[in-house]
Amino acid sequence: MQQIIYFIRKFRYFLLFILLETVAFIFIIQHHSYHKSKFVNSANSVTGGIYNTVSSVNDFFLLKSENERLIEENTQLKNLLNKRDINFNQITFKVNDSAKFGQKYEYTVAKIINNNYTNRNNSLTINKGTNQGITSDLGVINSKGIIGVTKSTSGNYTTVLSILNNNSKINVRLKNSNHFGTLIWNGKDYNILQLIDMPRQAQIKIGDTIITGGKSAIFPEGITIGTVKDFNFENNQYQNINIKLFNDMSAIGYVQIVKNLERIEQLNLENNTINE
Amino acid sequence: MNSLVVNNSFRFIGLVLLQVLVLNHVNLFGFLNPMIYIVWIFLFPIRKNKSLFLILSFLLGLTIDFFSDSGGINAAATLFIAFIRLPVLKAVLKKTDFDYLLFNLRAISFGKAFLFIIILTLIHHFIIFSLEYFSLNSINSIIYNTILTSGITIIISILGIILFSKKK
């Protein structure tokens, strides 16, 4: 016993180092697994509060680009409305009583208060949390494309796993055909993402538009993401398909969080099918 | 003694805020973000009671991690350079024992202080980028990022130390 105490006293400095280093590695490993990063994240009130204060100043400089984006989106929505009018005239449609009947997605607006895009694994912090009904695994988009998926939440803040992350895999498809692929990021340029798992039957051309596929329960189908910049076709396989994003990930201000109201229903059904 | 505590606390908070609010968004040439907070490690007084120093450096790294959502990467790297600071200093100065209380980074010759800072910064950045990429495939990116970011960090931290510390 005395030997052990002597040993601990003699090496306590080294043992303390090992102990703290182990704690740090536990945090790193927890952070890598998707749902467990409960402790070390910027969604708590101290870091979130500081970021919120600073971003209220930075906002001022983003006003111009944010306005331009809003005007663009307004034009797009007006065009959409006009198309609707024509359709309404042609076919009869019935009005449902219940306010939310048939509504599949619900959108919440949020402001980005911290944005990283130069690391290998990037994340963002937004100023809405569980008090506003945000949970983990919700899609985050803006009018030009997708931003990421929510990860950890606190009362008023949420961290978002950016699409510029090693752990991010988004189901996408070509706009003009129904071939699905997966969108990943190789960590080099924050405007260029990579498309993998494209079947060789797909006809890809430079300039083709990529949109979200409806396979996942997170993003609605048909959100535009970017265009094909270049690719190689070797051994009858598509390789190195680079996608240029419509979004400038370095300058995003306001985003929308998409809540899929039928998500639980869909996931339960899929789980049951797998288990059978 | 008391002013030492106040000084180091202010430096701690100041460096953390500078790092997370300004330097993490510098993006020089599109991707370089200097990590200046490790200056705190260089400047912390050397004493015989080293456990407190280890715990504080761990907390410094962890604070940066909280802000930048990086798990425990900064904590692990900062703790490691805090642990090897004294051996490195002894190797650089080629002394086995020196005056713990009177030690000051500005008091030793510029070349030796420079070497000391280079060694610790390179090790720190290498650990950070290895843990961030976490794959042997991207060893090229890790070394490339380590060298370039270290260069910026070393230049800014030496300028900062010369500007903001009193010469003995």
A66-89 confidence digits (pLDDT tens)? 888 887 788 778 777 766 555 554
CA distance B131 to B4: 33
CA distance B35 to B25: 11
Residue A187 one-letter amino acid: G
The mean pLDDT of B48-74, rounded to a whole number, is: 86
- Chain position carrying tokens 């002894």: B90
The predicted structure's pLDDT at residue B79: 92
Confidence of residue A91 (pLDDT cuts 50, 70, 90): very low
- Counting one residue from chain A and one from chain B, the pairs whose CB atoms sit within 8 A come to 98
The predicted structure's pLDDT at residue B81: 92
Check whether A234 has a pLDDT greater than 90.
no
CA distance B96 to A114: 46
Could you tell me if residue B21 is left (phi over 0), alpha (psi between -120 and 50 degrees) or otherwise beta? alpha
- The two counts, helices (H) then strands (E), for chain B are 6, 0
CA distance A58 to A47: 16
Domain count, chain B: 1
> A32 — contact with chain B (CB < 8 Å)?
yes
The gap from C-alpha A256 to its chain's centroid, in whole angstroms, comes to: 11
Measuring CA to CA, which residue among B101, B69, B78 is closest to residue B15?
B78
Interface test with A, best of B26, B55, B57, B69 (most A CBs within 10 A): B69
Confidence of residue A3 (pLDDT cuts 50, 70, 90): confident
> A50 — contact with chain B (CB < 8 Å)?
yes
The predicted structure's pLDDT at residue A49: 84
Measure in Å the smallest separation between the Cα of B67 and chain A Cα atoms: 5
C-beta of residue A47 within 8 angstroms of C-beta of residue B66:
yes
The CATH number given to whatever domain includes residue B140 is 1.10.1760
Nearest-CB residue to B69 (from A21, A24, A123): A123
Nearest-CB residue to A30 (from B58, B71, B131): B71
C-beta of residue B165 within 8 angstroms of C-beta of residue B105:
yes
CA dihedral B93, B99, B104, B110 (to 10 degrees): -20
The gap from C-alpha A12 to its chain's centroid, in whole angstroms, comes to: 44
The predicted structure's pLDDT at residue B58: 92
Confidence of residue B88 (pLDDT cuts 50, 70, 90): confident
Per-residue pLDDT tens digits for A99-147? 555 667 888 888 888 888 888 888 899 988 888 888 888 999 888 889 9
The mean pLDDT of A20-35, rounded to a whole number, is: 81
Determine the structural domain holding residue B100 and report its residue range.
2-164
Residues of A with CB below 8 A from B66's CB? 40-42, 44, 46-47
Q: What angle do CA A219, A225, A226 make, to 5 degrees?
A: 165
Confidence of residue B148 (pLDDT cuts 50, 70, 90): very high
CA distance A249 to A242: 16
User: Percentage of chain B surpassing pLDDT 70?
Assistant: 89
